Amino acid sequence: MWAVAQEQRGAERGLDTIAEATRLWREHGWSDAAAGMAAVTSLMRAQQLVLARVESVLRPLGITFARYEVLMLLVFSQRGTLPMSVIGSRLQVHPTSVTNAVDRLQGAGLVERLPHPTDRRATLVAITDEGRTVADKATAALNSEVFGRLGLAEKDLDALVGILSRLREDAGDFATRKPR
Amino acid sequence: MWAVAQEQRGAERGLDTIAEATRLWREHGWSDAAAGMAAVTSLMRAQQLVLARVESVLRPLGITFARYEVLMLLVFSQRGTLPMSVIGSRLQVHPTSVTNAVDRLQGAGLVERLPHPTDRRATLVAITDEGRTVADKATAALNSEVFGRLGLAEKDLDALVGILSRLREDAGDFATRKPR
DNA sequence: GTCCGATAGTTGGACGTCCAACTAAACGCC
DNA sequence: GGCGTTTAGTTGGACGTCCAACTATCGGAC
């Protein structure tokens, strides 16, 4: 990760650029929006840092976080099989992102594409034995090297999840199902 | 944004897929990592949602959030001028990302590239009058349409910034300066 | 039964991010 | 002074994301 490389080549603890930006926001009379600006900017930066850590753990396994999410969705499904569209709506990503991820997973032999038995428009994605193996290894690595070592107290983790849950709900996340 | 389009085409309030994943994590005996997994996943999803909102507000102005951040860094600098390397370290992004953003900003006439007066390796990025105008409009739009309307209480915003600050610090964020 | 709108997936293109590799210039050490 | 190391910035490629546009199929309304 880029920040780490900079950090490692010897640096003193620097300023928090987000705290600095917040101060400037208030100085310019945008106090009403300062907290929101700080929250959005923090979110962007934190996501970038965490994603980089996750990707570095997954890289040796030949997958990315996006593909890992697809694999876990399949692992947790009853038959190890899901339509592309369901994957997209669970992960809240564009259909093209699903196509992309499945293409690469299929190329690596971790999933297969099967025709949907009743809907000829749809495509079923099925996880392979090798896919399950990789998913297991990835989960073990992520649990021990990232999820279990975020540097936050359990209380902070829970608070973070709760706050982000409210934010996601307001922004229109939360799986949607077709009416009826 | 994709999720919004889905939401709007009529759906009932669905399940929180992250809460569901947390339950599965615990069932599989990974309770130690469950909270971290939930935090990381929430962070990814929330960032995606918020970024999409930000981008949709900035799109009419012809810039992206990455380019907006560069512009604001220049606006807040004394001379409206910064070396590429400083931009990269403030934003904690790879040098190629700075090159990319500056290329596009320059193409739009919002910044200029100037030779550094004393270091012939370096390049100064200077904001133009048009760049300042766009930055002002973008800030007004973001403040009123995103930062001021995140759907979170002030208390939650502050807590979020604090928690993410600790997370960033642990992950190696916070601007680094060369020793001495 | 037919037809038109909705849905499932794909392709091609834009964008931001990273990495690897490269050139040019500055720095430092002897 | 000279040479090796570090730093600044660029190019080319990989990846994930989105949008626009397209094909194929399903399904409901008439």
Are residues A87 and A56 part of one domain? no
In angstroms, the CA B140 to CA B134 distance is: 10
Q: Tell me whether residue A101 is in a domain.
A: yes
Are residues A130 and A73 part of one domain? yes
User: CA A124, C1' C6: Å apart?
Assistant: 20
Q: Tell me whether residue B4 is in a domain.
A: no
Q: How far is B106 from chain A (nearest CA, A)?
A: 24
Looking at residue B50, what is its pLDDT?
A: 95
Indicate yes or no: strand C within 7 A of the C-beta of A121: yes
Q: Tell me whether residue A146 is in a domain.
A: no
Residues of B in contact with A94 (CB under 8 A): 2
Looking at residue A11, what is its pLDDT?
A: 40
In angstroms, the CA A35 to CA A85 distance is: 37
Q: Tell me whether residue B98 is in a domain.
A: yes
Task: Provide the whole-model pTM.
Answer: 0.90
Looking at residue A30, what is its pLDDT?
A: 95
Are residues A82 and A30 part of one domain? no
Contact A48, B173 (CB under 8 A): no
Residue-wise pLDDT for A118-135, tens only, equals 999 999 999 999 999 999
Looking at residue B86, what is its pLDDT?
A: 97
Q: Tell me whether residue B145 is in a domain.
A: yes
Looking at residue B2, what is its pLDDT?
A: 63
Q: Which domain holds residue A121?
A: 63-139
B11 and chain A: CB distance < 8 Å anywhere? yes
Looking at residue B7, what is its pLDDT?
A: 53
In angstroms, the CA B154 to CA B145 distance is: 16
Q: Tell me whether residue A42 is in a domain.
A: yes
Looking at residue B173, what is its pLDDT?
A: 72
A144 and chain B: CB distance < 8 Å anywhere? yes
Q: Tell me whether residue A92 is in a domain.
A: yes
**B90: closest chain A residue by CA:** A17
* Average pLDDT value for residue range A22-47: 96
Looking at residue A173, what is its pLDDT?
A: 72
Q: Which residue positions in chain B have pLDDT lower than 70?
A: 1-14, 174-180
**A6: closest chain B residue by CA:** B176
**Domains contained in chain A, number:** 2
Is a pLDDT exceeding 50 seen at residue A43? Answer: yes
Pick A167's closest partner by Cβ from B152, B158, B169: B152
Residue-wise pLDDT for A31-41, tens only, equals 999 999 999 99
DSSP state of B93: -
What's the order of all strands across the beta sheet hosting B111-115? Answer: B81-83, B123-127, B111-115
- B168: Cβ contacts below 8 Å, ≥ 6 apart: A16, A42, A45, A46, A49, B174
Is a pLDDT exceeding 80 seen at residue A177? Answer: no
Is a pLDDT exceeding 70 seen at residue A10? Answer: no
How many CB atoms are located within 10 Å of the residue A136 CB? 12
Looking at residue B170, what is its pLDDT?
A: 82
